Amino acid sequence: MRMTVIGTGYLGAVHAACMADIGHEVLGVDVDVEKIRALTEGRPPFFEPGLDEVLTRALASKRLRFTTSLEEAARFGEVHFVCVGTPQRADSGAADMRHVDSVVDGLAARLEDSCLIVGKSTVPVGTTARLTARLATARDVELAWNPEFLREGFAVEDTLRPDRIVVGVTSARADRTLREVYAPMLAARIPYLSTDPATAELVKVSANSFLATKISFINAMAEICDAAGADVVTLADALGHDSRIGRRFLRAGLGFGGGCLPKDIRAFAARAEELGVGDALSFLGGVDAVNLRQRRRTVDVARELAGGCLTGRRIAVLGATFKPNSDDVRDSPALAVAAAVHGEGAEVRVHDPEGIHNARLAHPELRYESEPAVACAGADVVLHLTEWDSYRELDPDKMARVVRSPRLLDARNNLDAALWRSAGWTVRALGRSAPALAAAAL
């Protein structure tokens, strides 16, 4: 099948490469000339494990190419996937729909043959109905919604072997077309849910809101544990044994960030207000507040470890991206903490395995190092802020020899606290008071 993927950012680049890899003819489209050049040369414009291999295979097969021409795309595609961003608006929590609207308007003015437009962007409920009216001038064109569920760091796997495929359609023809698009996945018995567009639009924002709520819940419990002298890790383990709750997303720490969860829960709440049911999602304001408070709590603990004042202290920061296995620093809790510590007068040195370039663009005032030991040299406090596997492999004895003072804040609850303490480190972790950490080491 001939398809276009309009927007070659994180979602679009992965979708285009993977769709070509499973046998479709794909044309990727973007207004960014440099991005199109990089993709054409087989260079992903961001770090994502496995994407370079899939992109190389797809280009070599001649089933994938890229262009900046929407006119060419309109002539080429039987199916057009809309994968452009829906960032938070500058003046509110609502989603900025200008990019999606522009793509649909651009296609409507250029389409000549029957086709299916499929939205994959995360949008407010009611978007399909609103945009269908904008397609009134286009002959025999349908609009469907097929939300993405990609996790950064696992995007290729999530595209080729997703947990489920959800499509929102208004005709049997559209459903048949999407079943053909995803035929290899259906052959592998991946669940396929065909529903109305409004329900499909709600699935993604509902899933993200639930995950954000679960993360903020355990972080709220971490704050209680700190006050009560309890251990949030053991608490989460105990909760996770309840099959109704489960252990996933119950790791207390610095909280969530990135380009999806924060803006999606705000946009969902804003849309509920527009629909007149804002009270139904009022709890999301609390979820957001708990998440942001984790950043302030982390700075507070860092200040305590530094002796009550950060001014003039050298602080090492391990991790800049919002999560491991990514170079994405959008709304990164790690960078927010690093910047806040710097704002209190500390000398901050940051290391990250993949995110230094993007971090430097976002926060040029910070100092960046290519090796963890160099970032930690002479440090008064070490802050572990992104849970890269490589940080678990650090030798606490060796690290103790390069710092000025062996004091560690594990804001992700991902390091072996007992191992670090045995090497002479003072270790703090959110939700794990000193008595709780001592008990955990027994």
Residue 138 has pLDDT above 80, yes or no: no
What confidence tens digit (pLDDT) does each residue in 16-44 have?
999 999 999 999 999 999 999 999 999 99
Average pLDDT over residues 291-313: 97
Residue 202 is assigned to a structural domain of this protein: no
Which of 171, 195, 219 is at the close of a domain? 195
What confidence tens digit (pLDDT) does each residue in 152-170 have?
999 999 999 999 999 999 9
What confidence tens digit (pLDDT) does each residue in 352-405 have?
999 999 999 999 999 999 999 999 999 999 999 999 999 999 999 999 999 999
Same domain, 236 and 180: no
Same domain, 190 and 213: no
Average pLDDT over residues 193-198: 98
Same domain, 183 and 317: no
> pLDDT value at position 440?
55
Average pLDDT over residues 41-70: 97
**Which residues are catalytically annotated?**
260
Same domain, 296 and 421: yes
Same domain, 113 and 232: no
Q: How far apart are CA 120 and CA 201, in angstroms?
A: 9
Mean per-residue pLDDT over the chain, rounded = 96
Which of 167, 195, 223 is at the close of a domain? 195
Residue 206 has pLDDT above 70, yes or no: yes
Residue 436 has pLDDT above 80, yes or no: no
> pLDDT value at position 19?
98
CATH of the domain at 361: 3.40.50.720
Residue-range definition of the domain harbouring residue 61 = 2-195
The pair of structure tokens assigned to 268 is 């969902």
Same domain, 213 and 190: no
> pLDDT value at position 318?
98
Residue 74 has pLDDT above 80, yes or no: yes
> pLDDT value at position 136?
78
Residue 97 is assigned to a structural domain of this protein: yes
pLDDT confidence band for 171 (50 / 70 / 90): very high
Residue 201 is assigned to a structural domain of this protein: no
Q: How far apart are CA 81 and CA 28, in angstroms?
A: 9
Same domain, 226 and 351: yes
Pick the range with the lowest mean pLDDT from 138-147, 236-245, 406-415.
138-147
Residue 155 is assigned to a structural domain of this protein: yes
> pLDDT value at position 435?
57
Which of 195, 228, 249 is at the close of a domain? 195
Same domain, 7 and 146: yes
Same domain, 78 and 171: yes
Residue 70 is assigned to a structural domain of this protein: yes
Beta strands in 290-416 (DSSP E): 314-318, 347-351, 367-368, 381-384, 407-410
Q: Which position has the token pair 């035929």?
A: 183
Total structural domains in the chain? 2
Same domain, 187 and 213: no
Residue 200 is assigned to a structural domain of this protein: no
Same domain, 233 and 141: no
Average pLDDT over residues 285-295: 98
Show Cβ contacts of residue 296 under 8 Å, excluding neighbours closer than 6 positions. 340
Residue 188 has pLDDT above 80, yes or no: yes
The backbone torsions φ and ψ at residue 15, rounded to the nearest 5 degrees and listed phi first, read: -65, -45
Q: How far apart are CA 424 and CA 410, in angstroms?
A: 15
> pLDDT value at position 115?
94
> pLDDT value at position 439?
54
Residue 203 is assigned to a structural domain of this protein: no
Same domain, 271 and 393: yes
Average pLDDT over residues 312-325: 98
Rounded percentage of the chain residues whose pLDDT exceeds 70: 98
Q: Which position has the token pair 């804040």?
A: 409
Residue 85 is assigned to a structural domain of this protein: yes
